[in-house]
Amino acid sequence: MMPRANSGNFFEDFRTGQTIRHATPRTVTVGDVAVYNALFGPRFAVQSSDAFAEKIGYPRSPVDDLLVFHFVFGKTVPDISLNAVANLGYANCRFLAPVYPGDTINASSEVIGLKENSSRKTGIVFVRSSGFKQDGSKVLEYVRWVMVRKRDDKAPAPPEHVPRLPDIVTPSTLGDACPPLDMAGYDFELAGSSYRFGDYEAGEKIDHVDGITVEEAEHMMATRLYQNTARIHFNQFAAAQDRFARRLIYGGHVISLARALSFNGLANAFHVAAINGGRHVAPLFAGVTVFAWSEVLAKAELPGRSDVGALRLRTVATKDRPCPDFPYKSDGADDPAVLLDLDYWVLMPR
Amino acid sequence: MMPRANSGNFFEDFRTGQTIRHATPRTVTVGDVAVYNALFGPRFAVQSSDAFAEKIGYPRSPVDDLLVFHFVFGKTVPDISLNAVANLGYANCRFLAPVYPGDTINASSEVIGLKENSSRKTGIVFVRSSGFKQDGSKVLEYVRWVMVRKRDDKAPAPPEHVPRLPDIVTPSTLGDACPPLDMAGYDFELAGSSYRFGDYEAGEKIDHVDGITVEEAEHMMATRLYQNTARIHFNQFAAAQDRFARRLIYGGHVISLARALSFNGLANAFHVAAINGGRHVAPLFAGVTVFAWSEVLAKAELPGRSDVGALRLRTVATKDRPCPDFPYKSDGADDPAVLLDLDYWVLMPR
Amino acid sequence: MMPRANSGNFFEDFRTGQTIRHATPRTVTVGDVAVYNALFGPRFAVQSSDAFAEKIGYPRSPVDDLLVFHFVFGKTVPDISLNAVANLGYANCRFLAPVYPGDTINASSEVIGLKENSSRKTGIVFVRSSGFKQDGSKVLEYVRWVMVRKRDDKAPAPPEHVPRLPDIVTPSTLGDACPPLDMAGYDFELAGSSYRFGDYEAGEKIDHVDGITVEEAEHMMATRLYQNTARIHFNQFAAAQDRFARRLIYGGHVISLARALSFNGLANAFHVAAINGGRHVAPLFAGVTVFAWSEVLAKAELPGRSDVGALRLRTVATKDRPCPDFPYKSDGADDPAVLLDLDYWVLMPR
């Protein structure tokens, strides 16, 4: 008899070109939004207030972009990364349509590359994962690569293929998840800052000042909300045997914390349009206080749009380390306080 | 002047045949569902996705059966078990109608038996508790018996009556809370498993593999969500004086954890139709990691229904003990790792 | 270049007569209500059940008064009290209109007084803060005074003005947030108590019996839900340098705990109509168990209303100290167990 429980795919189970439809579809509700707000405390006005969103042309407040990302990511875990050793990177993540409470999200992944490691014990799996609404329209797409264990070291490796991935999402493709807006209705005082697209300069750095300490109950609630089943986040009994002897916090948790912290300095950066890439530089554990700072890497106008412009940001999150001096690298190596190095595009009123 | 605060009923306050209407009515919302999801992480597609539920004939996703149970149970606490020493057992628990967000739940209990203990300090109270919707229709019914303190040891005991209780809910009475479904619309891939009613065999055992560590904040949030006021769950100051010196976690918490864990192996068991009986074998405290396994005790077809069949399950939850070898009893005594021994019926697509 | 992050106003930045519109507008949802219920466990039937509320004349359950207060208070923090040393007091807090899920809340504050302290390092700022719905109608108004640091000790102080504040909200102004009700539809059994306005006597004291232990994850979730950004609640890294070496819990948290505990003895006090004043006598930290008791200070009929009457209550919350003997003051000094001394008006069915 076959085992009933899912033990996930191992490296040798994947084939380039294969498509996997993921369980479990999920209707996003105002309840999910409230739990997310309680866990991270974002304050971007567009997502916080239906009245504010309606005044600029949305039918109501869209769901936070990162919450949509976490829902899609969570669905991929049982099929893609249940036997992962490490999540290696992201590329070409694009938000393609706004999601509203009541929408149901599905996800699927295409395997776009495979490469066995020289140890023959693991291999790298490249997937393009997509999130869809109930009507089949795509809301999100991203590439992730992850190191996955082999079930059997001696199993033959699938044919090697390493995909070419863009370093950056080109600005001309941004904005699909942001309808044309009427910025005459955008109230900068209510939004919390007078700084708009034109006020930021490439190269400037922003200390987001505040810090948030993370508790075990919080990261587990967040990760369960996303139906992300990666065992290492929930199981202290098993974690006690591991190198860190602690539950490892889902990498997306620090992304959401950094995004919420970034409000203080980027209050009008209301939409994450794309993620160019990201590195989880160090693991996060409960008890740590997370701080963040951002650098404006570039600015871009969007073709045909006078309502919003795009800032390319690097946001760096740190552990137990305030960021007035923007800790990042020293002598080419990552500063030991750095947790996250995220490169992404946000949209702002012009 | 009478004390304004409720000090609950003591054993000698109950009379067989008495009916008690419980406070507080509660409208169930998508907010409650989201908090429940964040605390337990269930992944059954019918409850997770309105679109999935609609494709098989529900008007929308029904509320998780156990969340309904916890709401009804919580309401009974101030009247039935505020002065309880121990919750002894459940029988004949039947889910009778689906509950949807927006429905308001009320509860009442009938005292169906009383038996003083030989110590004369406590007695056993048997109640049949029922949950109702705002229109008066019954959604849930179960028998519980609980050991309750006497206010005054010397008070005369009420007349003794011990009700006859069924060992098992007969399969022909199952399914009232599951409308006739169109299983052509049931997408097994999205639901997370291809195994349906016909694939399971009586006698087979399933390790649910994963473990979840419980935090104080989580069980208190859950139990407050249900408006369950049993003091021992919330009050560390008082608990410090007790035998365990810890807040005791509501027994329903481990039931919900075990049910969520059971998705891994029973992904299509989307509806709990009845609970035959259950024992809280050992108390649960924060910091423990909960694991679970299930045995298929029996299978049953439902009269006149070709859409779903019923599996009778024993689900066993353990503390800090993975379950590949299905720990249960040794030499007739409970395995010291066992927390919960639950006997219930689930419905699955045929 | 101006710093992008908000560093808040300092004492010398305020001017009497100045009005500040606060960010971030917030749509209140059933999700927020559910998270609040999970964190505090209130059981007042009007707020818990749409069906109960509709039977007495509400269009649906109104949002808990204190949740509305916390939302408004949270919005004022970045502008008023980010550089506060201490929150000194409240006066003349009136709830003016019911708030329902779907309403969007905005807030603004008028500076009504300023007084530099003799140290010249700090000053007292008096503000009248107001909460509004999306249609501009006012839902809440209160005066708060807070000690705020100066940016520069040598900066000249703004002109001194100390407003006259009422000791008490006059009963004839109560009830605006409570529509005329049909008390024939009020089911006292479902509400959890038979005691109504006429049953309480001025001078009587009520022990609320139960205790609730507070966890770090809980108070941070609550305070983030309100988008309250006061740093001391979230940042253990910074707090470790402070006098208490602990995250200080938002003062509103103990108010909500005391209100939820007060259900046991005041189950029909369904609406907080006004807060006359309040003192945070001692700081609250995680791990403490909170208890509460109340005294009926006065009773008042409302002009032209036969549906509800008002009780003026003093509710005292304590830390790790049950309240059968109503601890408050000894020899004129606060009992060392007292956390909160709150003076407010509630409405009850007559």
Closest Cβ opposite residue B35 in set C38, C40, C265: C38
- Chains near C, with 3+ CB pairs < 8 A? A, B
Helix H or strand E segment including B127: strand B122-132
Nearest to A209 by CA among C6, C23, C151: C6
Please give the Cα distance from A209 to A294 (Å, whole number): 11
**C-beta separation of A206 from C4 below 8 A:** yes
**C-beta separation of C108 from C76 below 8 A:** no
Question: Consecutive sets of 10 residues in chain A, 350 residues long: mean pLDDT of each?
Answer: 85 97 98 98 98 98 98 97 91 98 98 96 97 97 97 94 96 96 97 97 97 98 96 93 93 98 98 96 97 98 97 98 96 95 98
3-state SS, residue A326 = coil
Residue C92 sits at φ, ψ, to 5 deg, of: 55, 45
Please give the Cα distance from A308 to A347 (Å, whole number): 6
3-state SS, residue B73 = helix
Rg (CA), chain C: 20
Q: Which residue of B has its CA nearest to A227?
A: B41
Please give the Cα distance from A270 to A350 (Å, whole number): 12
Please give the Cα distance from A343 to A93 (Å, whole number): 11
3-state SS, residue C77 = helix
3-state SS, residue B331 = coil
A56/chain B closest Cα distance in angstroms: 27
Nearest to C193 by CA among B235, B81, B3, B234: B3
B256/chain A closest Cα distance in angstroms: 13
Please give the Cα distance from A182 to A197 (Å, whole number): 15
User: What would the two tokens of residue C193 be?
Assistant: 């108590």
Distance of CA A43 to the CA centre of its chain: 18
Closest Cβ opposite residue A134 in set B51, B201, B211: B51
Question: C121-155 b/e with 16+ CB inside 10 Å = b?
Answer: ebbbbbbbbbbbbbeeeebbbbbbbbbbbbeeeee
Q: Is B218 in Cβ contact with A217 (below 8 Å)?
A: yes
Q: Does B264 touch chain A (CB under 8 A)?
A: yes
Q: Is A218 in Cβ contact with C6 (below 8 Å)?
A: no
Instruction: Please check the confidence at residue C1 and state whether its pLDDT lies above 70.
Output: no
Closest Cβ opposite residue C225 in set A31, A37, A189: A37
User: What would the two tokens of residue A50 be?
Assistant: 């239906």
Q: Is A48 in Cβ contact with C25 (below 8 Å)?
A: yes
Q: What are the beta bridge partners of residue B132?
A: B106, B138
**What pLDDT is stored for residue A246 in this prediction?**
95
**C-beta separation of B191 from B56 below 8 A:** no
User: What would the two tokens of residue A288 be?
Assistant: 């740590």
Q: Where are the alpha helices (DSSP H) in chain C?
A: 30-40, 45-48, 50-55, 65-80, 188-191, 216-225, 236-239, 251-261
Please give the Cα distance from B231 to B228 (Å, whole number): 9
Q: Does B213 touch chain C (CB under 8 A)?
A: no
B123: amino acid identity, one letter: G
**C-beta separation of A238 from C241 below 8 A:** no
Nearest to B144 by CA among B254, B341, B279: B279
What is the pTM (predicted TM-score) of this model?
A: 0.98
Nearest to A175 by CA among A268, A315, A307, A73: A307
The DSSP secondary structure of A255-300, one letter per residue, reads: HHHHHHHTTTT-TT--EEEEEEEEEE-S---TTPEEEEEEEEEEEE
Q: Residues C88-101: what's their mean pLDDT?
A: 96
C223 cis-preceded (ω within 30 degrees of 0): no
Q: Which residue of C has its CA nearest to B27?
A: C49
Q: What is the DSSP letter of B241?
A: T
CA end-to-end distance (rounded Å), chain B: 62
**What pLDDT is stored for residue A21 in this prediction?**
97
Residues in chain B: 350
Q: Is C190 in Cβ contact with B104 (below 8 Å)?
A: no
C334: left (phi over 0), alpha (psi -120 to 50) or beta: beta
**C-beta separation of A309 from A279 below 8 A:** no
Q: Which residue of C has its CA nearest to A196?
A: C4
Q: Is B216 in Cβ contact with A217 (below 8 Å)?
A: yes
Give Cα separations from A266 to A260, A339, A346, C94 (angstroms): 10, 20, 10, 35
Helix H or strand E segment including C214: none
B82/chain C closest Cα distance in angstroms: 11
Closest Cβ opposite residue A4 in set B189, B195, B287: B195
Q: Does C215 touch chain B (CB under 8 A)?
A: yes
CA diameter of chain B: 65
**What pLDDT is stored for residue C330 in this prediction?**
86
Q: Does A103 touch chain C (CB under 8 A)?
A: no
Residues from chain B contacting residue A222 (CB–CB below 8 Å): 38
Residues from chain B contacting residue A5 (CB–CB below 8 Å): 206-209, 264-265
One digit per residue, pLDDT tens: chain B, 350 residues?
A: 568 998 899 999 999 999 999 999 999 999 999 999 999 999 999 999 999 999 999 999 999 999 999 999 999 999 999 999 888 999 999 999 999 999 999 999 999 999 999 999 999 999 999 999 999 999 999 999 999 999 999 999 999 999 999 999 999 999 999 999 999 999 999 999 999 999 999 999 999 999 999 999 999 999 999 999 888 899 999 999 988 999 999 999 999 999 999 999 999 999 999 999 999 999 999 999 999 999 999 999 999 999 999 999 999 999 999 999 999 998 889 999 999 999 999 999 99
Q: Does A64 touch chain B (CB under 8 A)?
A: no
Q: What is the DSSP letter of A179?
A: -
Residues from chain B contacting residue C33 (CB–CB below 8 Å): 29, 31
Helix H or strand E segment including B151: none
C86: amino acid identity, one letter: A
C158: amino acid identity, one letter: P
Q: Which residue of B has its CA nearest to C318?
A: B237
User: What would the two tokens of residue B69 be?
Assistant: 């149970």
Closest Cβ opposite residue B34 in set A23, A35, A220: A35
**What pLDDT is stored for residue B86 in this prediction?**
85
Q: A334 burial class (0-12, 13-18, 19+ CB within 10 angstroms)?
A: middle
Please give the Cα distance from B221 to B219 (Å, whole number): 5
Q: Does A18 touch chain B (CB under 8 A)?
A: no
**Where in chain C does DSSP place strands (E)?**
19-27, 84-95, 104-116, 122-132, 138-149, 205-207, 212-213, 271-280, 289-301, 308-319, 329-330, 333-334, 338-349
Q: Which residue of A has its CA nearest to C102?
A: A50
**C-beta separation of A292 from A317 below 8 A:** yes
**Where in A83-172 does DSSP place strands (E)?**
84-95, 104-116, 122-132, 138-149
Interface test with B, best of A4, A103, A134, A233 (most B CBs within 10 A): A4
Q: What are the beta bridge partners of residue A26?
A: A105
Q: Does B137 touch chain C (CB under 8 A)?
A: no
Interface test with C, best of A50, A247, A318 (most C CBs within 10 A): A50
Interface test with C, best of A37, A200, A268, A319 (most C CBs within 10 A): A37
Q: What is the DSSP letter of C302?
A: P
Q: Which residue of C has its CA nearest to A30?
A: C31
3-state SS, residue C247 = coil
Residues from chain C contacting residue A209 (CB–CB below 8 Å): 5, 7
A160: amino acid identity, one letter: E
Percent of residues, chain C, with pLDDT higher than 90: 94
**Nearest 5°: CA angle at A320, between A319 and A326?**
70
Q: Does B122 touch chain A (CB under 8 A)?
A: no
Instruction: Please check the confidence at residue C86 and state whether its pLDDT lies above 70.
Output: yes
**What pLDDT is stored for residue A1 in this prediction?**
58
Find tokens 């992201």 and name the residue: A90
Residues from chain C contacting residue B216 (CB–CB below 8 Å): 213, 215
**What pLDDT is stored for residue C231 in this prediction?**
84
Helices C30-40 and C251-261 cross at an angle (nearest 10°) of 80
Q: Is A32 in Cβ contact with B48 (below 8 Å)?
A: no
Nearest to C228 by CA among C26, C90, C93, C27: C26
Q: Is B49 in Cβ contact with A104 (below 8 Å)?
A: yes
Interface test with A, best of C20, C27, C100 (most A CBs within 10 A): C27
Nearest to B48 by CA among B29, B34, B35: B34
User: What would the two tokens of residue C37 be?
Assistant: 């219920």
**C-beta separation of B222 from B237 below 8 A:** no
- Chains near B, with 3+ CB pairs < 8 A? A, C
Predicted-assembly ipTM surpassing the 0.95 threshold: yes
